[in-house]
């Protein structure tokens, strides 16, 4: 017997937390490596190297092995950097 879709427990989630709506990159507080690469136009390998060399500068969030880049702080970092 197949479940009926009239049962509210079986319906797909709806609303702001359902994952249906995506936040534009320019509105996000922190970006993962792929998002940051797309947003800043810097390669993923280069970004990983920049992150590893600048862990204490304030633009890196680390969650286990996952790195996130604080978008505004990284923009400030780039404004004051001549080369990567």
pLDDT digits (tens, 9 = 90+) for 27-74: 999 999 999 999 999 999 999 999 999 999 999 999 899 999 999 999
Whichever domain contains 70, its CATH number is 3.90.105.50
Question: pLDDT value at position 22?
Answer: 87
Are 18 and 57 a contacting pair, CB within 8 Å? no
pLDDT category at 1 given cuts 50, 70, 90 is: low
Question: Could you tell me if residue 52 is inside a domain?
Answer: yes
Question: Could you tell me if residue 43 is inside a domain?
Answer: yes
Question: Could you tell me if residue 17 is inside a domain?
Answer: no
Q: Which residue has the tokens 């990284």?
A: 74
4-13, 17-26, 56-65: which has the minimum mean pLDDT?
4-13
Pick the closest to residue 84 from 49, 33, 55 (CA basis).
49
Our count of domains for the chain comes to: 1
Question: Could you tell me if residue 65 is inside a domain?
Answer: yes
Question: Could you tell me if residue 11 is inside a domain?
Answer: no
Q: Which domain holds residue 84?
A: 28-84
Question: Could you tell me if residue 13 is inside a domain?
Answer: no
Helix (H) or strand (E) holding 70: strand 66-70
């Amino acid at each position: 017997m197949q479940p009926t879709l009239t049962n509210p427990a079986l319906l797909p989630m709806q609303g702001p937390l359902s994952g249906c709506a995506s936040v534009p990159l320019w509105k996000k507080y922190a970006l993962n490596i792929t998002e940051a690469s797309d947003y800043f136009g810097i390669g993923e390998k280069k970004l990983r190297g920049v992150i590893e060399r600048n862990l204490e500068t304030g633009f890196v969030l680390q969650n286990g092995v996952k790195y996130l880049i604080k978008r505004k702080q990284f923009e400030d970092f780039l404004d004051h950097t001549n080369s990567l």
